[in-house]
Each structure stands twice: as structure tokens, then as C-alpha cells.
Amino acid sequence: MLTRKQHKLLLFIDSHLKQTGFSPSFDEMKEAMGLRSKSGIHRLISGLEERGFLRRHHHRARALEVIQLPEMAQATPETLPSNVVRADFSRANAQTLKVPLYGRIAAGLPIEAMADTDSFLDIPMTLVGTGDYYALEVTGDSMIDAGIMDGDYVVIRRTESVENGQIIVALIDDNDVTLKRLRRKGNTIALEPANPNYETRIVPAERLKIQGKLAGLIRRYH
């Protein structure tokens, strides 16, 4: 699931790689996307990397690798929101994996995630790699600029090892669970929303436990 901006940037990077043999600079991407700052490009690239469409080679300058390209879903404007692109997973692998669906998670204010081991979600095998996974239903709109909307299902890989900028499931004070982008700042952790209507929450590191990181997203259309 990609936003229109993510889709546009991915196609620009792919075209630039095919034409020149190397990835575009941040200034070139910023100009192509019509953005005023490089921070917007950083967010888009992070989102593409988290969804498995793009890979960054951190040991080399300007080294981006396109892993896969999405296809526009065949849908009418009434059934498909204008800012969403759906990837066609069926062409790569039609197999699915059952993962436990553990209640709801807030992409707005933190709420308690209620575990329900009787519920499972079928996800494409191409969406996951090795590891242990679970799914949560999203409530709220604070991650909407990252392409995560109210009612979506996020697929989470269980891990405590995450990097700055990744979208994580955070457990605060052993009670509240939320989905946000992580930024470490000394002995504190900033939980950043992807919606300008919400504020970043700063939490002392000892009060927060990382429950996993975003591996994929499922959106159902009725």
C-alpha cells in the first residue's frame, strides 16, 4: 500500500536508475516531487523502505535500489481513495500466512491493545520475511501521511531492535500501546506522528518497550 507521493517518487527513482545507472540526489528528488525541504524526501524514502519497495545501501553515497514496483489497482474512484496505490502481490506469490490479530492500536492517542488469540489475518507471503509476526487494526489518523489510515491492518514483526525513523509499536508504562515513528534523543524517545494535527510525544526510554516494527499494511475495501 503506497501513497501517491511514495508511488511517484519510486517511479522517479526507478526511471533515474535505468537512465543513468545511479540513484538521484536528494535535490533532484526534491525538485521532481515539488517539495521545499529534504526532510519530506527522507520520510518518503523511509516509508518505501519499510514497505519493501526500496533498499538503501548505507555504506555508499546515493545508493538506492528498487526492489519492486507497485501496480495501480483496477478500481473506481468510489472504491479506491485518491491517495492510495495497491501493490499486486499475487503475481509474485499467491501463498498467504496466518498471523494472529491482536485487537486495535491507536494511530492517534494511545489505547490499550486487547489481545484476541482467536482472530487471525491472512497476509501475502511476499509481505514478510523470516521472523515472528502479528497484526493490529489501526484506529485514528495520526499516521495518515505515512499511508496508514483508520481501519487499516498493520503487520508487525516482533523485535526490540529498531532504527531511528522506523514505525514501531510502542508500549508505554506497561499499559498504553501506540503506533508511531521512533526517534531516539539521548535518554528519551520521541514518538512522532505523521499528521501535522498531532504533537510528538517525548517519553523517557525506561518507560517505553518496543513491541515490534512495521512490516506491512493491509487495507480492505468493502
Task: Please write the tens of the pLDDT for every residue from 134-193.
Answer: 999 999 999 998 888 898 899 999 999 899 999 999 999 888 889 999 999 889 999 999
- CATH code: domain 95-218 is 2.10.109.10
Domain-by-domain residue ranges, the chain?
2-71, 95-218
Please say whether the beta carbons of 178 and 158 come within 8 A.
Answer: no
**Half-sphere exposure in the Cβ direction for 184 (13 Å, CA):** 12
Q: Can you give the pLDDT at residue 92?
A: 44
Question: Residue 105: which region, alpha, beta or left (left: phi > 0; alpha: psi -120 to 50)?
Answer: beta
Q: Give me 156's grid cell.
A: 508487525
pLDDT (tens digit, 9 = 90+) per residue, 152-169?
899 999 999 899 999 999
Question: Residue 170: which region, alpha, beta or left (left: phi > 0; alpha: psi -120 to 50)?
Answer: beta
- 95-218: same fold as 2-71? no
What does the angle CA 45 – CA 48 – CA 52 come to, to the nearest 5 degrees?
135
Domain 2-71 has CATH 1.10.10.10: yes
Helix (H, G, I), strand (E, B) or coil at 13: helix
Number of separate helices (H) and strands (E) present in the chain: 3, 13
Which positions are annotated as active-site residues? 142, 180
pLDDT (tens digit, 9 = 90+) per residue, 13-49?
888 887 777 888 888 898 888 888 888 888 898 888 8
Helix (H) or strand (E) holding 29: helix 26-33
Q: Can you give the pLDDT at residue 203?
A: 94
- Nearest partner of 217 among 51, 45, 95, 104, judged by Cα: 51
C-alpha to C-alpha distance for 86 and 215, rounded to whole angstroms? 15
Q: Does residue 7 have a pLDDT over 80? A: yes
